[in-house]
Structure 1
Amino acid sequence: MAEKLEDLNLPNASVQKIIKEALPDTVNIGKDARSALSRAASVFVLYVTSQASNEAQKANRKTLIGQDIITALEELEFENFIEPLKDILKEFKDSKTKKSNKPKKLNEEENDGIEGEEDDETEEPMEDV
């Protein structure tokens, strides 16, 4: 658990990046506004996480899953976030599936000498004991 209230804040660099991507290049934002947005984002994340944790506990789980977050957003009446979140979860699951189904390739150095080369050692038949 966090020792200080500030430990619960999101990293300023991450919040700054999100703000920069959301606003046009012509808009500047003051330090106090960045700080307020950072704190508001942190409170939002804690709020949704708390509700999602309740959902996991209802299902006798200790691990939060994506569906817990979706259910929490529904219960907290943040319906606008549900469809984008579902899309992101689907993309994540698809990319995870593609990675696990992708055959591992040998690079050229590892592949050198493998094709067509026979082992010098021959297997000896096992003796009956």
Structure 2
Amino acid sequence: MKLGASHYYATSDAETFTSLAGTFDLIICTVGTTIDWNAYLTLLKLDGTMVLVGVPEHAVPVHAFSLIGGRKTLAGSMIGSIKETQEMLDFCGKHNIVAEIETIDIKDINEAYERVLKSDVRYRFVIDMATL
């Protein structure tokens, strides 16, 4: 809510998938972990698209009917072009969209790395180069 959301749905609650079934045109999946891909595909409307930008460790098991039943698309994207990146930065600047970060001293880099491995990072680490 602090970041501007007006609603929150916990995907750990099975009822969320029932109440939101068929409501999204687009889902951008940023996670790199195991999820129930078929359950998330049920959230898409007819002709909806789920785009993977996170890289899961294991294969993505998707039943064919999860896609063909609603003419859904499962796509992937690694990065945009320089032009697309500039458009995104311009959009963020225009709408005051900024990154949430945690600033760390250079001496804490090993601890930060351990926190990344433990998934104990809320947003992004930024190293304060003045501490070098």
For the criterion TM > 0.5, the same-fold answer is no
Which of the pair is proportionally richer in helix?
A: 1
TM-score range, shorter chain: under 0.3
The structure where strand makes up a greater share of residues is 2
Task: Report the TM-score when normalising by structure 2.
Answer: 0.21
Larger radius of gyration: 1
Relative contact order: is structure 1 or structure 2 higher (C-alpha 8 Å, sep ≥ 6)?
A: 2
TM-score, normalised by the number of residues in structure 1: 0.21
